[in-house]
């Protein structure tokens, strides 16, 4: 799902008229946009009015349909899984954010208060910032959430995270414990043992940057 910004002559809708992600970030905003489209019976004109890419929205609709069919098979027709069911609640958003934190465990980042940015968590940590296009904004004190999951890293004049969603510390800690115990040499059959030294050096560098 993408915002179509190519045609400057198209009708411009103020950003405030689109869902804002309820403070959780871009992934929740995208879900909310789809939910609004669903409420409007997947009307193509609705997409055009909001300057949304129709082809992308139709693709999302098809993917969602396939996922619902898979879930229905797994649940064996449970009434809790319905293809036409839309549940707007903080609990649903919480479940999605938790799934993202686990599914994209290698794309987590921790807030760095002294740098007004984030440090990615993984073998080669680096300092990054939230992309300006993100709906995830700092609070009234200018602070971001402690942990986020991101979809991609891009490098312009500085490294940015794009498509960012806030996640809870209680979800991140078990993941970090598993990553810390990860034996790179064993996983690689001994061929990538040099990465252990890279990891150590990265941790030392990250500690220096945090100080």
Could you state, in order of their start, the residue ranges of all structural domains in the chain? Answer: 15-88, 104-181
Mean per-residue pLDDT over the chain, rounded: 80
Spatial distance between the Cα atoms of 195 and 134, rounded to a whole number of angstroms: 33
- Return the higher-pLDDT residue of 197 and 148: 148
- At 121 the three-state DSSP class reads strand
Q: What is the pTM of this model?
A: 0.75
pLDDT at 73: 84
Spatial distance between the Cα atoms of 197 and 19, rounded to a whole number of angstroms: 45
pLDDT for residue 5 is more than 60 = no
Spatial distance between the Cα atoms of 51 and 156, rounded to a whole number of angstroms: 26
pLDDT at 211: 45
pLDDT grade, residue 82 (50/70/90)? low
Average confidence (pLDDT) over 104-118: 89
pLDDT at 6: 46
pLDDT for residue 173 is more than 80 = yes
pLDDT for residue 79 is more than 70 = no
Average confidence (pLDDT) over 22-46: 94
Contact 45, 91 (CB under 8 A): no
Q: For the chain, what is the radius of gyration of the CA atoms?
A: 20
Contact 161, 119 (CB under 8 A): no
Both tokens of residue 211?
């100080």
CB crowding 109-120: b at 16 or more within 10 Å, else e: bbbbeeeebbbb
Average confidence (pLDDT) over 131-138: 93
- Return the higher-pLDDT residue of 142 and 169: 169
- Return the higher-pLDDT residue of 41 and 13: 41
Strands (E) across the chain are located at: 108-112, 117-121, 127-130, 147-155, 159-167
Average confidence (pLDDT) over 38-59: 93
pLDDT for residue 2 is more than 60 = no
Spatial distance between the Cα atoms of 134 and 20, rounded to a whole number of angstroms: 10
Average confidence (pLDDT) over 129-156: 92
Average confidence (pLDDT) over 8-29: 73
Q: Which is nearest to 163 in space by CA: 15, 27, 23, 22?
A: 27
Residues in a beta bridge with 102: none
Average confidence (pLDDT) over 200-204: 50
Average confidence (pLDDT) over 122-137: 90
């Amino acid at each position: 799902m993408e915002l179509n910004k190519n045609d400057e002559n198209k009708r411009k809708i103020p950003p405030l008229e689109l869902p804002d992600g309820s403070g959780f970030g871009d992934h929740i905003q995208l879900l909310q946009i789809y939910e609004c489209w669903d409420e409007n019976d997947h009307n193509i004109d609705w997409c055009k009015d909001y300057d949304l890419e129709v082809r992308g929205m139709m693709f999302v609709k098809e993917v969602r349909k396939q996922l619902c069919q898979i879930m229905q098979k797994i649940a064996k027709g449970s009434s809790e899984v319905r293809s036409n069911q839309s549940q707007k609640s903080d609990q649903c958003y919480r479940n999605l954010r938790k799934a993202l934190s686990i599914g994209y465990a290698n794309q987590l980042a921790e807030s760095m208060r002294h740098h007004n940015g984030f440090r990615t968590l993984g073998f080669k940590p680096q300092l990054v910032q939230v992309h300006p296009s993100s709906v995830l904004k700092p609070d009234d004190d200018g602070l971001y959430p402690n942990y986020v999951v991101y979809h991609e890293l891009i490098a312009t004049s500085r490294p940015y995270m794009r498509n960012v969603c806030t996640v809870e510390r209680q979800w991140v800690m078990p993941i970090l414990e598993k990553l810390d115990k990860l034996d790179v040499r064993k996983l690689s059959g001994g061929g990538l043992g040099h990465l252990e030294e890279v990891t150590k050096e990265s941790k030392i560098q990250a500690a220096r940057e945090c100080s």
